[in-house]
Amino acid sequence: MADDKAQLHLNNLSDPIELPIHKGTAGPDVIDVRGLVQAGYFTYDPGFVSTAACESKITYIDGEKGILLHRGYPIGQLAADSDYLETCYLLLNGELPNKEQKDEFVNTVKNHTMVNEQISDFFTGFRRDAHPMAIMCGVVGALSAFYHDSLDITLERHREISAFRLIAKMPTLAAMCYKYSIGQPFVYPKNDLDFAENFLHMMFSTPCADTPISPVVAKAMDRIFILHADHEQNASTSTVRLAGSTGANPFACIAAGIAALWGPAHGGANEAVLDMLDEIGDISRIPEYIEKAKDKSDPFLLMGFGHRVYKNFDPRATVMRESCHEVLKELGITDPQLELAMKLEEIALKDPYFIEKKLFPNVDFYSGIILKAIGIPTSMFTVIFALARTAGWISHWQEMISNSYKIGRPRQLYTGYEARDFTPLDKRD
Ligand code: SDX
């Protein structure tokens, strides 16, 4: 794997330290710093800005060019021509399925859509006004107390069953969160529906009446799932990998991922975008909010803007914006928030601050407007991100566990006290 070597010259060492350089199939070369520890040094990289924490074959991003590939396939092509479950298969297995493999995969997912009846008891422990992400963290974590028949993570088959269970049960749990919040009975999954239709059925039907599902809405929902399915080593996926590196229960690892996703700097941004658009309220107030976003003494940021990796358009945002227009047009909805969002994007992209810092709309900028048009309440936006990202989380967990891995254990630059003697309480000032 090492093709080249870097030499690190340190003033207090007579000989340079040689560090191997690894070449990936794409992307920048990577300096392997593992040998530094023998020389008594660590590297310092808060936020992992220039650190690759693992090797992976799942997803590739070229942030300068705005390219996102899953197993080599461009996200735009997957969003246009694939469907979510096929994308899940691709992420998990590395190749697109043939017809037979796809049918088998879809049927297996369908066999796992119900949750153990006792899971519903967990919901009643939550307040009705709890944030659905708080409930998701709890109930997905609770799944780790079930399914003892297949929890030996050293067995490929057991890991596969956990992956099926997670992908299949997330829509059921997500819809249960919504139903609980509005005081309606839970709706069981219906296996003659496809993945997105089934989710919408569990969200909007009741035990008394099925709500018809528009094919336009189901297609848009499925596309949103595809666009959120994976994004290499983002904060929540890295959290799942870190938790998984201890050998922890896979359902608990995914609950950790959900917790990491919730923050407004990550998946919580889709909810924050609509709150922000609500707050701005009118196109005439955009300049005021652009100034607030640039003002370092003001905590306000343009939500749905900026990205650690993309220094160009997030290709998912481009698809999402197109999809937004299509869905609103087909549903005959005119949403002033879409107009506001487009104007905000236009003004920000011309502003020297956003140009210089290469801040572009990310996946979260337009997704909320489509979700709103579909009838999904704002508080459920991040839950939907979590539902879709489960495919990526479990694929990365699988990849890690099925290869050799070490427990994730970063080091630190210690700046606290040196050793000092304990002072008994009666001698302290
Ligand atoms: C997701 O990593 C992934 O792949 C995540 C994701 C996925 O699919 O998993 O793509 C999903 O999390 C999308 C991001 C959603 N978050 C937001 O939309 C929240 C708003 N954006 C940010 O807070 C921010 O841009 C981040 C968190 C997304 C990226 O943070 P970085 O890489 O640590 O960059 P930074 O905060 O250091 O920003 C660099 C500069 C700073 O200014 P300076 O200190 O250099 O003067 O850009 C400024 C920031 O203040 N900046 C913004 C801004 N984002 C960054 N200024 C105004 N508005 C913004 N949105």
* Residues 77-107 as b or e (16 or more Cβ within 10 Å = b): ebbeebbbbbbbbbbbeeeebeeeeeeebbe
Q: Taking residues 325-334, report their average pLDDT.
A: 88
Name residues contacting ligand 1 (CB within 6 A).
47, 231, 234, 265-267, 269, 293, 301-309, 357, 359, 362-364
In angstroms, what is the span from residue 306 Cα to ligand 1's centroid? 4
Question: Helix or strand or coil: residue 67?
Answer: strand
Could you give the C-alpha distances from 411 to 41, 236, 317, in angstroms and in order?
10, 20, 36
Place of tokens 């920000």: 348
In angstroms, what is the span from residue 314 Cα to ligand 1's centroid? 12
pLDDT at 3: 65
The residue nearest atom 54 of ligand 1, judged by CA position, is 306
407: part of which helix (H) or strand (E)?
none
Give, to the nearest 10 degrees, the angle between helix 364-374 and helix 215-228: 150
In angstroms, what is the span from residue 426 Cα to ligand 1's centroid? 49
Under 8 Å CB-to-CB from 167, ≥6 apart: which residues?
85, 88, 109, 112, 390, 391, 394
pLDDT at 13: 85
How far the first Cα of the chain sits from its last, in Å, is: 59
User: How far is it, in rounded angstroms, from Cα 135 to Cα 121?
Assistant: 12
Instruction: Check whether 107 has a pLDDT greater than 60.
Output: yes
pLDDT at 11: 87
- Assess whether 266 carries a catalytic annotation: yes
pLDDT one-digit tens code per residue, 120-139? 999 999 999 999 999 999 99
In angstroms, what is the span from residue 114 Cα to ligand 1's centroid? 37
Ligand 1 binding pocket mutation candidate from 91, 238, 308 (most atoms within 8 A of CB) = 308
Atom of ligand 1 nearest to the CA of 273: 18
pLDDT one-digit tens code per residue, 233-268? 999 999 999 999 999 999 999 999 999 999 999 999
pLDDT tier at 330, thresholds 50, 70, 90: confident
- Strands lying side by side in the sheet with 2-8: 2-8, 17-22, 30-31
Q: Which of the following is catalytic: 22, 266, 335, 351?
A: 266
Ligand 1 binding pocket mutation candidate from 69, 344, 359 (most atoms within 8 A of CB) = 359
Strand residue runs (E) in 101-176: none
Partners of residue 68 on adjacent β-strands: 61
Q: Taking residues 109-125, report their average pLDDT.
A: 96
Instruction: Check whether 1 has a pLDDT greater than 80.
Output: no
Instruction: Check whether 41 has a pLDDT greater than 90.
Output: yes
